[in-house]
Amino acid sequence: MPAITLRLELHKPTKAKQQMYQRMTEVNTDFANWLLLHPEVNQAN
């Protein structure tokens, strides 16, 4: 079955979206770094 490709035009994000993306990037980076310092948490299931 052939693949279907869609081309979507992306619009320039608003200032609010840029700020939200920046904040979420910071939060996720901080959390990832915290996980690296607490390897016992990674073993929880």
Global confidence as pTM: 0.61
Each residue of 1-45: pLDDT tens digit?
Answer: 788 998 888 888 899 999 999 999 999 999 999 988 988 877 766
- Round to whole Å and give the CA distance between 35 and 28: 11
- Percent of residues in the chain assigned helix, strand, coil, to nearest 5: 60, 0, 40
Q: Where are the domains of the chain?
A: 11-45
pLDDT for the residue 29: 96
To which residue do tokens 């990674």 refer?
42
pLDDT for the residue 45: 62
